Structure 1
Amino acid sequence: MTASNKQSKQKTQAVLLEAERQLALDQPSKALELYNQVLAGDEQQFDALIGCGRALTALRQYDFALAHFNFALGLQPQAAIAFHYRALAYHGSKHFDEALMDHQQALALNPNEISTYLNLANTLTEMDRFEEALEFYNGVIDMAPQYAIAYNNRGNLFLDQRMIEEALADYAQAAKLDPGQQKFRWNQSIMHILLGQYEQGWPLYEAGLGIQGFARGLRKQVPQPEWLGKQNVSGKRVLLYAEQGYGDTIQFCRYAKQVQALGAEVILEVQAPLVSLLQTINQGSTAQNEIKVVAQGQGFAEFDYHCPLLSLPMVFNTTLETVPAPIPYLHAQPSDHVLLEKPARPRIGLVWSGSTTHKNDHRRSLALAALAPLLALPYEFHCLQQEVRAADAELLGQLSAITLHQAQLKDFADTAALIAQMDLVISVDTSVAHLAGALGKPLWLLLPFVPDYRWLLDRTDTPWYPQAHLWRQPAVGDWNSVIAAMAKQLQHFPSPS
C-alpha cells in the first residue's frame, strides 16, 4: 500500500468514526453528511452505505435508507449487519412482514447478536403477536439480565395487552438498571398519567423533553431562562411554546389563561396552521389583556421567560380534579370556504384515520369500510380530515353519504368553521378530535384497546373535554363491536348513554 493510499484510508476511517459518533449523539443529519463525504470518494464503501442507511432511518427517510441497504447487500449478500439495519428501516416504515424476514436472516447469519433478538421481539409486538414477542423478550432478558432496554420494551408489550402491573414493574426495572436513560422515566410518566396518577406522572413527564428530543420534542435553546413555576412572572413576558403535535397544542393551550392569571404577559408560539385558530382564545378579552399568538420559526424573541406547553400541567400541579376545562376555550369564526346550506338532517362530522407517520397509527386509525353501519343511517355525513388514504379513496368516491371538504380546508380555522356546523363529531384520536373538544362540540371519540395516555383507562368520559363520550375497543383491533354499538346509539342521537 502506498503512503498516499494509506493516508486516504486513515482519513476515511476518521470520517467514519466521526459519523458514528454523531449518530450516537442523535445527530443523524450531521452523520449523513459525513457518510456521504466518504461515498463521494468511493460509492461502494460498505460501511458508509450502512451508515447512510442508519442515518436515513433515524431521519425517517425510509425509502432512501432501504435503497442504501439494498446496494450494500448487492456488494456483500451475506452481511448480517445489512439485514439487521434494513429490518429496522422496514420496521420504521411499518412493513413488518419484511422486517421480520430480515431479522430472521440476520440471526441466521449471526445468531449471537442480542440486539437482533430484541428488535425481532419489537417487530412481533407491532404485529400483535404477543406470545412470540414475549418469548423473545424473556429470552433476551435471560441472556442479558442487565440489559435495561429489554425490560423497557417488554413493558411496552405488557402495556399493549393492558397488563398494567407487569408494565409498571418492567419500566421501573429499566429505570433502576439505567437511571440516566430518559426514555425509561418517560415511559413511567406515561403509565402514571394513563392511570390518573397525575401527581407522580407530570414531574416524570419532563424526562421526555431534551436538547435532541425523542418523545416530546426539543427544549428551546435561547438566552432567556426557562420558567417552570418557580419565579414570580407578574409583569413579565412568558413565551409558551408548542413542542409536540397539533392536537397537543390544542389540548394544552388552555393553560395560557392560567399563566396570564399570574400577572404575566403571555405569548403563544405555535405551529403556523394553528395561529388563526388559537387567536380565538382571546374572545371576550380586552385589547390590553390579549394573549399574543405567533408562528413557530418567526424568530420571536421579545420575552423574559419561556416554558413548553406540556410542562404546564406540572407547573400548576394538575390532578384529575383540577384539570382546567373552561369549554369552549377556542371558537369558530365564519368562513366562506366551508359555509354549508341549511341542513335537512342532523350533520355528523367524521374522522376515521390520522397521519400515517404517527407511531401508533396502525392501532388508532381504521378503514373507511368499517364505518358502513354508521353510513347506512339517515344522517348527513361530512369528512373533516384533509388526508384520505389510497386504500379508502376508491370507496369514498362511490359513497354519496359523505361530503368532502379537503380543498376548502386551508388551516385549522377553516376546520373549526366546518365543525361548528356539525351536530356531532365522530373521530379517532387525532387533532380534529381535540379541536372539536376545545370548541365544545359534542364529540364521540373512538379509542384503541390501549389508548393514548391522556384518555385514561375504562372511563367513558374525560376531564379534558367534559362533553365528549369515549368509545373504547374491548379487545385489540376490535373496531367492529365499537362501530356496531355506536350505530345502535346513533339511532337515538343526540344523547349518548
Structure 2
Amino acid sequence: MAQHLSGDAISVAQNAREQKRLTLLNPDAAGRWAALAASAPRDAVKFLTRAIILSPDDFRLYVNLSNRYLASGEALRIWGPLRAAAILFPELSRAYEYLGVLIPVSVTEGDRRRLRAWSWVCGGAAQAGVVAATRLIDMDQLEAASELLKAVISSDPLSSEAWRECALLEQKKARDKLARTAFLRAVLTAPNICDGYIAASAFLIDQREFASAAQALDFAACLIPDSPAIWVNRSSMYEHQSEPERAIGFSRRALMMRPQNAAYTYNVGAVLHDLGRVQESLAFHDRAVLMAPDNLALKNNRAILLLKAQAYQQGFAEYENRWYGHDLERSPGRSLYPVRSFDLPLWKPAETSGDRILLWGEQGIGDEIWGLGYISSLRGRHESFVVETDARLVPLVNRVFPFVECIPRNMERTLDTSLFDAQLPLLSLPHSLGLSEAPAPAGWARDRPEDLVKVRERLRAGRHGKKIVGLGWRSVKPLAHRSFGLSLEAFAELASLDDTLFLPLQYGMSRDDWCEVEALFGKERILRPDFDVWHDLPSLADAIGGVDVLVSAATSLVPLSVAAGTPAIALLNRVQRDWRYPPDASCSPLLPAVELMWPRQWSVPGSLNCAVNRAFQ
C-alpha cells in the first residue's frame, strides 16, 4: 500500500515565494514576517526575531519563537521567549505546563520542573503548583514550599497530588503525625489512584509499621497489579526488616519489568550488598551509573560500595562525586552533606593558590571524629587552616591541633567566606592528600601518659588491679539507620570476666537503662561517668583512653577509640551501612586496632570474651 504524503513539495515552495513577495511589499508588518517564518522553517528563527523587533508586545511571536527552538533541537533556548510571553499574557499557564511535560530529554529535570512552576505562577492548574512545590522542596526551601502547597490545597482541596506532596514535605520536616494525616487525605481524595497507596507505604516502612505498609501495597496492587513501584517497596519493606533473602526477589522482579531503569538496577545492587555479595552488587552499581551517568546519588552509592570492598583509592576518588552532579540544584542553606554550602573553590593541595583554607565537618559526629584524624597530616604546611566542626569537638581539636584554628558550627549563621581562599570537607582529606590507601591516623587524641594514669585511677575509684571495659550499644539515629544499635543482651557474656569493671559510655541513659546494666553485670562492677557523655567529648575521649578495651556497636565511640588509641571490639549487625566496616572482614585499615565481630562470630558463646582477653594482652 502506498504511503500518504504530508504535502505537495511544489505547493510548499510556491507558498514560500508568495510569502516572501508579500513581506517585501510590506516590510514593517510583523505579521508578514511571522507568516514568512511559517513557510520557511529553515530561517524561521531569523524571521521571527525580525517580527518581534517590529511588534515586541505580541506574545504569540514569542511562543512561536520558542516552538521553533524546540523544533530545531535548541530546547535550552526556549526559556527567554516563554518568560517574555508570560509577562505579556499571563494566561499562558497551560502552555507552560504542556511544555514542562513534552520538552526533549536533553533538558534537565530541573528545567522541566521550572517550566511547570511558571505554569502555576501564571495561574495554571493545581498539578503545576505541586510541581513547583516539589522543586522548592528539592532546593530545601521548605517554608516556601509549604506556603505554595497551602495555596494549591486552598484552590483545590481534592487534589490528591497536593496532599501527597504535603505529606512528603511534613515527612522531611520530621513531623510524622502531620505527614500521616496528609498521606491519609491523599488516599481519601483519590482512592482509585495507585500512587497514593505507594507513597503511603513508603512512609509506613520508614515508621516500621510493616503490616500497614503491606496492606497499602496490597491496595495498590488491586489497582495496578504490574506496577514495578509496588515490587520496589515490597523489597524495601523486607530490607528494612533485615530480610534481604526475601527482598531480592521483589527487587529483581521490578528490574525485569523495567530493565533500563537505573534506580531499579541500583535497588538490586543494594539488596545484594545487604546479602554480603559485594562483587555482584558492584556490577549492578556499575550498570546503574552507565544508565544514568549524571546521577550524583548513584555515583556516590557506588563510591561507598567501593570503599566497603576495600578499593580505597578508587572509592575515595569516586566519593568526590558527592560534590558534583548534573541534576543537583544548589541548596540555598547550609547542609552537613557536601552540596556546595560555601561559595569557595575546593582546596587542591598541589594546585590551589591562596593560604587560608576552610575545612569543615560533614555528616554525623562519628564521621567528623574520623575525619579530624587527617588534620595531623597538615602539620608543617604553609597554609593556615580553619576547622569548622561540631561545637562539642572544638575543645578537643584546640587541645590536640594547636596549629589550626577551630570554630564551632552554627547552621543558622552565615559564614563570611571572604576570609578564605578555598574549602574542603573533612572526609575529602584522604583523597586530596594522597592518603587513600594509608591506614587511618590513630591515637591522635590520646592524652599524655601521666594524665591517662590519673584518668584510670579516677575511674577505678580505689579498686586497683582491675581491668576496665568501656561499653556502648546504641546510637540515636533515624529509623532508616537501624544498623547502628544492638540489644544489651549481646554483651551479656562479658559478665563472666574476672577482675573486670564496666564503664557504660552510652549517652541518654535512663533510670531503666542503668537498672538493666546493673542487673546484667552487677551493681558493684559498674562505674558511672563523672562527666556529661553527650556534651563533654574531650572528657569522653580521655575516658576511652583510660579504659583497657572498648566494646561497642558501630557508633561514634568506635572512631573515638581509634582517636584515643584504645583497642576496641566492634559488635556489628548483619547489615552494616557504614563504609568503614568491610563485609565479613575482621579488621579495617580505616579503623586501626579495632576488631570487627559479625553476628555469626559474637553470637558463638565464649567468642566475645576471647576477643576481650586478646585486647587485654
Which interval holds the TM-score relative to the shorter structure? Answer: 0.7 to 0.9
Q: TM-score, with normalisation over the residues of structure 2?
A: 0.69
| Rounded Cα–Cα distance in structure 1 between residues aligned with 2:547 and 2:614 | 17
Q: Secondary structure at the match of 1:408?
A: coil
1:151 is displaced (CA, Å) by: 0.8
In the TM superposition, residue 311 of structure 1 has moved relative to its aligned partner by 1.1
The verdict on how the C-alpha distance between 1:300 and 1:448 changes in structure 2, with shifts beyond 3 A counting, is farther
1:180 aligns with 2:294: yes
What is the CA–CA distance in structure 2 between the aligned matches of 1:85 and 1:218, rounded to whole Å? 27
Deviation at 1:72, TM superposition (A): 3.8
* Superposed CA offset, 1:145-169 (max 9, x none): 1111111010011111111221011
1:393-442 CA-to-partner distances (Å, cap 9, x unmatched) read 76347452544449733331232233233222111111111111101112
Q: Distance in 2 between matches of 1:276 and 1:403?
A: 25
The whole-number CA distance in structure 2 between the counterparts of 1:33 and 1:389 is 40
Q: Is the 8 A contact 1:375 1:381 kept in 2?
A: no
CA contact (8 A) 1:256 1:268 kept: no
Structure 2 partner of 1:4:
none
**Aligned counterpart, 2:41:** none
Cα distance change on mapping 1:21 and 1:492 into 2, 3 Å? closer
1:455 aligned partner: 581
CA distance in structure 2 between the aligned counterparts of 1:350 and 1:479, rounded to whole angstroms: 15
- Are 1:277 and 2:396 counterparts? yes
Structure 2 runs not aligned, ≥5 long: 1-119, 325-329
- Mapped to 2, the partners of 1:37 and 1:494 lie a distance apart of 65
- Say yes or no: does 1:355 pair with 2:476: yes
Structure 1 residues 238 and 391: CA distance shift in structure 2, 3 A? same
Stretch of structure 1 that moved more, 159-168 or 380-389: 380-389
The match for 1:468 is 594
Equivalent pair of 2:338/2:425 in contact (CA under 8 Å) = no
In the alignment, is residue 374 of structure 1 matched against residue 494 of structure 2?
yes
**Separation of aligned partners in 1, 2:212 and 2:512:** 20
Residue correspondence of structure 1 range 8-407 to structure 2 within 5 A: 10=124, 12=126, 14-23=128-137, 28-39=142-153, 46-76=160-190, 79-209=193-323, 211-212=330-331, 217-232=337-352, 236-282=355-401, 290-297=403-410, 299=415, 301=417, 302-320=419-437, 322-329=438-445, 331=447, 340=459, 341-344=461-464, 345-357=466-478, 359-361=480-482, 363-378=483-498, 379-388=500-509, 395-396=516-517, 398-399=519-520, 400=523, 401-405=525-529
Structure-2 change in CA distance of 1:462 and 1:163 (3 Å): closer
SS class of match (2:480): coil
- Say yes or no: does 1:417 pair with 2:537: no
- Name which of structure 1's ranges 67-76 and 430-439 shifts more when overlaid on structure 2: 67-76
Q: 1:430 to 1:406 in 2, by over 3 A?
A: farther
Deviation for aligned residue 1:330: 5.2
Question: 1: CA distance between counterparts of 2:493 and 2:199?
Answer: 43
Change (3 A) 1:484 1:79: farther
Counterpart residue identity of residue 404, structure 2: I
- On the 8 A contact 1:60/1:92 being kept in 2, the answer is no
Cα distance in 2 between the residues matched to 1:392 and 1:113: 45
3-state SS of paired residue (2:580): helix
CA-CA distance at 1:188 after TM superposition? 1.8
Cα gap change, 1:125/1:291 in structure 2, threshold over 3 Å: closer, same or farther? Answer: same
Flag the 1:407–1:216 CA change in 2: closer, same or farther, 3 A.
closer
Percent of residue pairs bearing the same amino acid type:
23
Q: Against the structure 1 CA distance between its residues 360 and 256, is the aligned structure 2 distance closer, same or farther, given a 3 Å change threshold? A: same
Name the SS of the counterpart of 2:358 in structure 1.
strand
Q: Which has the higher helix share?
A: 2
| Preserved CA contact (<8 Å) 2:355 2:384 | yes
Q: Shift in Å at residue 44 of structure 1?
A: 6.2
CA distance in 1, matches of 2:518, 2:212: 31
Q: Which has the higher contact order (CA 8 A, sep 6+)?
A: 1
What's the offset of the Cα at 1:490?
Answer: 3.4
Q: What does residue 3 of structure 1 align with?
A: none
Bigger mean CA deviation after superposition, 29-38 or 439-448: 29-38
Aligned to 1:342, the other structure's residue is in SS state coil
8 Å CA contact retained: 1:228, 1:311:
no
- The 1:134/1:389 distance shift into structure 2, 3 A limit, reads farther
Q: Residues 83, 130 of structure 1: CA spacing in aligned structure 2 closer, same or farther, 3 A cutoff?
A: same
1:428 pairs with 2:545: no
Paired residues, number: 476
Counterpart CA distance in 2 for 1:218 and 1:130 is: 30
2:603 counterpart residue number: 480
1:249-301 CA-to-partner distances (Å, cap 9, x unmatched) read 1111122232343311111110112111222222xx5xxxx211111125254
Report the 3-state secondary structure (helix = DSSP H, G, I; strand = E; otherwise coil) of the residue aligned with 2:423.
Answer: strand
Q: Which amino acid aligns with 2:532?
A: Q
3-state DSSP class of the match of 1:51? helix
Q: Displacement of 1:10 after TM fit? A: 4.7
Paired letter, 1:461: C
- Give 2:612's match in structure 1, choosing from 486, 490, 494: 490
Per the alignment, do residues 458 and 51 of structure 1 end up closer, same or farther by CA in structure 2, a change over 3 Å counting? closer
C-alpha distance 372-439 of structure 1, shift in aligned 2 (>3 A): same
For residues 215 and 59 of structure 1, the distance between their equivalents in structure 2, rounded to whole angstroms, comes to 14
Question: Secondary structure in 1 aligned to 2:265?
Answer: helix
2:425 partner amino acid: P
Once the two structures are superposed, what CA deviation does each residue of 1:216-243 show, in whole Å capped at 9, x if it has no partner?
813344343221334255x701111111
d(CA) in 2 for partners of 1:91, 1:310: 31
Q: Distance in 2 between matches of 1:185 and 1:406?
A: 45
In the alignment, the residues of structure 2 paired with residue 32 and residue 375 of structure 1 have an alpha-carbon distance, to the nearest angstrom, of: 53
Distance 1:430 1:116, change over 3 A: same
Q: Is the 8 A contact 1:53 1:69 kept in 2?
A: yes
Instruction: Measure how far apart 1:97 and its partner are.
Output: 3.7
**Is the contact between residue 602 and residue 608 of structure 2 (CA under 8 Å) also seen in structure 1?**
no
Once the two structures are overlaid, the 10-residue window that deviates more, 35-44 or 444-453, is 35-44
Distance 1:57 1:484, change over 3 A: farther
Say if 1:254 and 1:144 are closer, same or farther in 2 by CA, change over 3 A: same
User: In the alignment, what sits opposite 2:74?
Assistant: none
Mapped contact 1:29–1:59 kept (Cα < 8 A):
no
1:439 aligns with 2:552: no
Distance 2:363 2:494 in 1: 32
Distance in 2 between the 1:433 and 1:303 partners? 33
When residues 22 and 493 of structure 1 are mapped into structure 2, their CA distance, relative to the original with a 3 A threshold, is closer
Identify if the C-alpha distance between structure 1 residues 25 and 232 changes in structure 2 by more than 3 Å, giving closer, same or farther: closer
Do the aligned partners of 1:208 and 1:214 also contact (CA within 8 Å) in 2?
Answer: no
How far residue 59 of structure 1 moved from its aligned partner, in angstroms, is: 3.7
How big is the alpha-carbon RMSD for the aligned residues of Structure 1 and Structure 2?
A: 3.4
Inter-partner Cα distance in structure 2 for 1:161 and 1:385: 29
Contact 2:308 2:579 (8 Å CA) reproduced: yes
User: Which SS does the other structure have where 1:248 is aligned?
Assistant: helix
Moved more, 387-396 or 184-193: 387-396
- Counterparts of 2:260 and 2:169, CA distance in 1: 27
Q: Which has the larger radius of gyration?
A: 2
Name the aligned partner's letter for residue 291 of structure 1. V
